[in-house]
Structure formats: structure tokens, C-alpha cells
Amino acid sequence: MLLLDYGPVYLKFLFSSKLVGTLTTTENFLDILLTLQSKLGQLEFIDLKLTKTIGENTLYFFKVNKHKINNFNESVELLLIREQIKLANISEIYYCGKPQGKDSELITLLFPDLNEIKQGKNTQLSVIGVDFLNKNFDKPFFCLPYQTISDLVKIGKFNYDHTIDSKIYLEDSSIFPLLIANIIEGVSIYKVESISDYSRVGGCSFGATTYWSLLQLTCGYTDPLEAVKDAIEGQNELIDLSVKDIFGQGYDLFGLPPDLIASSFGKLKYLKDMSNVEKKDISRSLLTLMCVTLSQTIAFTAINENIRKVLVTGNPFECLEFMQMVMISIQYFSNKGVSAYFTDYSAYLNLLGQFRSREMLNSESKGDNEIEIIIKADN
């Protein structure tokens, strides 16, 4: 089975097969990929850390930055995937999401012999994906170490080493009820009581695509991943106006620490010469603005809906440092009443929902109530 999710920056795929699938008489597909990874140091497109065997199926996850489509088309990884598709006699590729621009042409380029078949609605697939993840993966949801909001200008920079590999996994096996805050073009926030009981309760128009579009306009970036990597090193103190910049110190009357950002991009109004402003500083400032602004919306929505857990998904920056910034900001705006969680499978929730849907529709348990729910999503 080959599944596709069209995203604004990435084409995301899930490949699963019940084959022991061989390209030689002795090696299976996973062995081949592990051997290839050992030679290359790290595969560029397939993330073997996410590979999961469930029952008779082994799930392989890979995503392609649209700006690197030619690299993928010429890669050994794609050659191996095509061989496995032939071995599995796969003739269709099921997809969700909406193709943009020349997306369909890219799929034809990568998999010229496969027919595309639309499946499901993204929201429902995400909910099914979260439920499937919760039931079949070991501790898939995590948060990160807490820091005070006054360290906001440092998070993702001075605390880089502290943040990496410091995931704190959710022990509670029951994930619902929760909010799902999906950050893509804008942000959509859904209240989820169960796999069949969910509704949209909020959102905003400032999302990851806003961040990327503004950077293209102002800085000439050609790759979102490059912009995020630059943001980790950027100095937003050179661009953002702090409480200390305004008052010379903190504003104790209202509990505002000196380093708290008072105005994003606020210092630029004083600059006569912009030549010393680096694009990595602008990227950092804009990504900080996005994280904090979205966090405020998410926190207030959670409080209004009386929900204490939020799963933040879809964020294409997939960077622990800025995940931590979102988490800390949500806690700050909710007075520590709302906890934010993330998952390494964030980019693939719709695909996990698709996989669960196809497996259920192909199973013999046609009387399962969940089958009816998923069939409706396909209409």
C-alpha cells in the first residue's frame, strides 16, 4: 500500500506491505535500507527511526521537500521504493490533501505507473491517525523541559544542547479529550472527544505558510528548511523591542521581566540603514512571533473549551527548540492550566488515518461501527 498526503511544503508518504519483500534472496527491504543508511550515515528522505511493524505490516515513512524533488527523483531511496512497489503489485496511490500548482505532475514524475485515488477528509483522517497512534505506538506523545517565558529570546539558541533529546513522554494511555491544533497554511483547532466526536472550535489565519511567504518576500529564501535552521542561530534581540528597551528595566508593577518581547520587529523603526540586519535574524524574529501568537490563540481556545491537553501538529518546522517555545507560551497564556504535546509522527497523522481506514475497509470485520465512520469520509 502506498499513501500520499499533499502538504504546502512537503509531499509525505507512507509505504506499507505485508511482503517480506526481497530484492535479493537473503535481504528484506528494511535490511537493505539499514545497510544503505550505514554507508551514507543517514538517509535523506526515509526516516528509519519512525519505521514501525504492526501485525503483518511494516510502515515506512518518507517525505520530500518540493524544493528538492529532483534530488529525490535521482536518489537510490526512490529506486528501492519503486522496486518494492513492483514486488507488492501496487497499482494505486491513495492520497489526501489538496494538490497545489504542479503537485500532481510531481507525483507522475516520481510514480508514473500508479493511479491516484482520493481518500477521506483531512480532519477526520487526523483524528483517526491520533487514535491509531495512541493505541498502537509506545508513548508517541511528548512535551519538553519547561523554562520561564522571560527566557523566550534564548530558547532555541543558548539552550539548544539542553533541549535536544530531552523529550518527556506522556504516560497516560488515554489521549482524549484534547484539542488538536493543526498548523499548516493557517491554524485550525479541533476539539476531539473521541474518534467519532470532534468539531472545529477555533483557529487563525497566521500559520506556517504565512511565515514562509513573508520570508520569501523579504529575504529571498528558496527553502523553508534553510530558513528554520537560520532561525535557530538568529538574534531576534537585534530586531524585537524588549520591555528593557522601553523602560530601561523590567516593569515590576505588571510582572514583566526586562527581556520579555514588547514589540516584534519593534527596533526596525529606528533603523536608517538595514544593511546590518541579517536574514537569519528576521527569520528568528518572525518564527518567534508565529510561535507566540499561535500559542495565545491555542491557549485561550483550550481554556474556553475546558480542555487541558493540546496536541500541536502539522508544524512543518519540526524543530524541538521552537516546539519548546510553543509549549512554554501555551503554558504562560493559560497560567499553566494547559499542557501542550507533540509527536514525531506529526507530519504523518493523515497518512496513519488513511492506513487505518484502508486496513479496516479491507478487513473481514465489516460490522465494526468505525467502518461506517471512515466510509463516510471517503464520499
**Interval 88-120: pLDDT, tens:** 889 999 999 888 888 989 999 999 999 999 988
pLDDT, one tens digit per residue, over 345-368 is: 999 999 999 999 888 776 644 455
Domain residue ranges of the chain, discontinuous segments joined by +: 2-120, 138-344
Q: Domain 138-344 classified CATH 3.10.580.10?
A: no
Task: Band the pLDDT of 201: cuts 50, 70, 90.
Answer: very high
Query: Which pLDDT belongs to residue 37?
Result: 92
Task: Band the pLDDT of 129: cuts 50, 70, 90.
Answer: very high
Query: Which pLDDT belongs to residue 232?
Result: 83
Give a three-class secondary structure readout of the chain.
Answer: CEEEEECCCEEEEEEEECCCCECCCCCEHHHHHHHHHHHHCCCCCECHHHCEEECCEEEEEEEEEHHHHHHHHCCHHHHHHHHHHHHCCCCEEEEECCCCCCHHHHHHHHCCCCEEEECCCHHHHHHHHHHHHHHHCCCCEEECCCCCHHHCCCCCCCCHHHHCCCCEECCCCCCCCEEEEEECCCEEEEEEEECCEEEEEEEECCCHHHHHHHHHHHHCCCCHHHHHHHHHHCCHHHCCEEHHHHHCCCEHHHCECCCCEEECCHHHHHCCCCCCCCHHHHHHHHHHHHHHHHHHHHHHHHHHCCCCEEEEECCCCCCHHHHHHHHHHHHHHCCCCCEEEEECCHHHHHHHHHHHHHHHHHCCCCCCHHHHHHHHHHC
